Amino acid sequence: MEPKIVLSTPGSVTIKSPRNMLTPGVKTTQEIYDIAQKHCETKSQANAVATKSWLQPFDGNYHEFECKKP
């Protein structure tokens, strides 16, 4: 399963990624950041800034970004 956008507005985006049982914690990869950055550039000509990440047990990792103007 690839990371995918599960919730978005022009000012924010939430991305779900698969849970890696071998890696402790929630890791925001470059791929996830790139998805968020593309969303923010397209929707509001802004940069993606990570605001929080969390694990939903038996579901996946979630990563929330805010779109901030430079």
Is residue 20's pLDDT more than 90?
no
Tell me the CATH number at 24. Answer: 3.30.1360
Q: What is the pLDDT of residues 45-64, one digit of tens each?
A: 999 999 999 999 889 999 99
Residue numbers of the domain that contains 58: 4-68
Is residue 70's pLDDT more than 90?
no
Lowest average pLDDT, out of 18-22, 32-36, 43-47, 66-70, goes to 18-22
Token pair, residue 47, equals 């940069």
pLDDT of 25: 76
Mean pLDDT of the chain: 93
- 64 phi/psi in degrees, rounded to 5: -110, 135
Of 20, 47, 52, 51, nearest to 36 by C-alpha is 47
**What is the length of the chain?**
70
Domain count, the chain: 1
